[in-house]
Amino acid sequence: MAAPATTVSTAVLKSVPLFAGFPDEQLRALATLVTRRSAPRSSLIMAAGDATESLYVVISGRLKVMMGDAEGKEVILSLIGPGEFFGEMGLIDDSPRSASVIAIEPCELLSLSRRDFKKCMAENFDMTMAVMKGLVRRLREADRKIGSLALLDVYGRVARLLIDMSEDVNGQKIVTKRLPKQDIAKMIGASREMVSRVMKDLQMGGYIEMRGSTIVVRDTIMLPD
């Protein structure tokens, strides 16, 4: 992240769910502790195994949380967007980074040092609860992913991912964010070719419809509970 740090307004901090419960006075104090940075697309924010220094909060843009091996094979654990945070795990258990985080769009990020993160947690129960809720949500998503890998075939895994990533737009389930087939493959543990074949079959069967880069997910897609 090469861009210079800039200051942060309390209005920006208030818009972040993690800090939403802070009284105005604490927000003003927090504004002096956080650092705002721009990260260009494709920049590596942290690498798995790095020493842990800070918590990050996303103001704008999207990032991927991933793990890779020496041969360049990757698995995408999660996509993170505005309002979400990352880098809390290493701060909580004093361990190196568990995964790598890379900007997939130009991002605006806030960072908070280990010492200030712990101080804020100690002084603000709402923030502690927000961090715990974030961890529980990730555990639920990880459980769901393990269930999908063990119990669903690639059709089911693609269908579940599309359903999970879709938003309700005027009563229709639509994946509005760009979701390349390569990334779908890395998220569900399948090859890109297999994902292409499955998406084509789902399209031919009328289960999904491609509209430019958005995907409409039809209600005819059924998954086991």
Q: Which of 122, 114, 123, 186 is nearest to 157 (CA)?
A: 186
Q: Which residues of 49-66 are buried (b: 16+ CB within 10 A; e: fewer)?
A: eeebebbbbbbebbbbbb
Nearer Cβ to ligand CMP (86/155): 86
Strand order in the sheet with 172-175: 167-169, 172-175, 214-217, 208-211
**CA–CA separation, 40 and 60 (whole Å):** 12
Buried b (16+ CB within 10 A) or exposed e, 196-208: eebbeebeeeebb
Residue whose C-beta lies closest to ligand CMP: 90
| CB 11 to ligand CMP: min, Å | 25
Q: Which is nearer to ligand CMP, 53 or 201 (CB)?
A: 53
How near is the Cβ of 106 to ligand CMP at its closest, in Å? 20
In the complex with ligand CMP, the residue whose CB is nearer, 89 or 152, is 89
Nearer to ligand CMP, 135 or 169 (CB): 135
Nearer to ligand CMP, 99 or 215 (CB): 99
Shortest distance, CB of residue 209 to ligand CMP, whole angstroms? 29
CB 102 within 8 A of CB 58: no
- Shortest gap between Cβ of 210 and ligand CMP (angstroms)? 27
Q: Which two tokens stand for residue 225?
A: 């509970």
The distance of closest approach from Cβ of residue 40 to ligand CMP in the complex, given in angstroms and rounded to an integer, is 19
Task: State the burial class of residue 138 (Cβ atoms within 10 Å of its Cβ: 0-12, 13-18, 19+).
Answer: middle
Residues near ligand CMP, by CB under 6 A? 46, 52, 65, 77-78, 86-90, 97-99, 101, 138, 142
